[in-house]
Amino acid sequence: MTPAKVMPYDGGCTCRFVRYRMSMKPMFVHCCHCRWCQRETGSSFALNAMIEAERIQLQQGEVEVINTPSNSGKGQKISRCPKCHIAVWSNYAGAGDAVHFVRVGTLDEPDRLPPDIHIFTASKQPWVVLPPNAPAVKEYYDRNDYWPQESLERRATLLAKNLPR
Ligand SMILES: [Zn+2]
Ligand SMILES: [Zn+2]
């Protein structure tokens, strides 16, 4: 933890109706090369920053939550600007509403959050060449093998508070 200077991460949609602020760095950043992310972004991968829902605040506007099919079959709730319909974050069934997967490309300074891991590289588009030492897995991975201890602890705290008993 570096309480001295915590720079927030601001972002929003394209029409600027939705503006949000992440109060601290995310727990982990996925660069997902699965076909679902390729289709949903219309591009080659999705860059998602995982952060506790309570650590992201809407500064302006509101989001519209769209239930969307997902690879797991359990669905994904995508939060979009109700005006320009750009997706700003989503929630997957796994961690539920407690963890937002923020679309890094919607940050004002997306360069601040490069991926911590590349996942589903089995369907990575061949022209996307990863840096030699970047953590990368063919499909998914075990969190304990890749997440920093601090992030594992943040997640454990969160789940203890949010999981239905
Ligand atoms: Zn908008
Ligand atoms: Zn994906």
Q: Mean pLDDT for the chain?
A: 94
Sheet order of strands, 117-119 included: 64-68, 76-80, 87-92, 99-103, 46-52, 28-32, 117-119
Q: How far does the centroid of ligand 1 lie from the alpha carbon of residue 86, in Å?
A: 6
Q: What was the pLDDT predicted at 92?
A: 92
Q: What was the pLDDT predicted at 5?
A: 66
Mean pLDDT of 137-149: 97
Which ligand sits closest to the CA of 20? 1
Q: How far does the centroid of ligand 1 lie from the alpha carbon of residue 52, in Å?
A: 23
Q: What is the pTM of this model?
A: 0.93
- Amino acid code (one letter) for 140: Y
pLDDT band of residue 71 (cuts 50, 70, 90) is: confident
Which ligand sits closest to the CA of 101? 2
Which ligand sits closest to the CA of 16? 1
Mean pLDDT of 49-57: 97
As a whole-number percent, the residues of the chain with pLDDT over 90 amount to: 87
Is residue 165 over pLDDT 60?
Answer: no
Q: How far does the centroid of ligand 1 lie from the alpha carbon of residue 87, in Å?
A: 9
As a whole-number percent, the residues of the chain with pLDDT over 70 amount to: 95
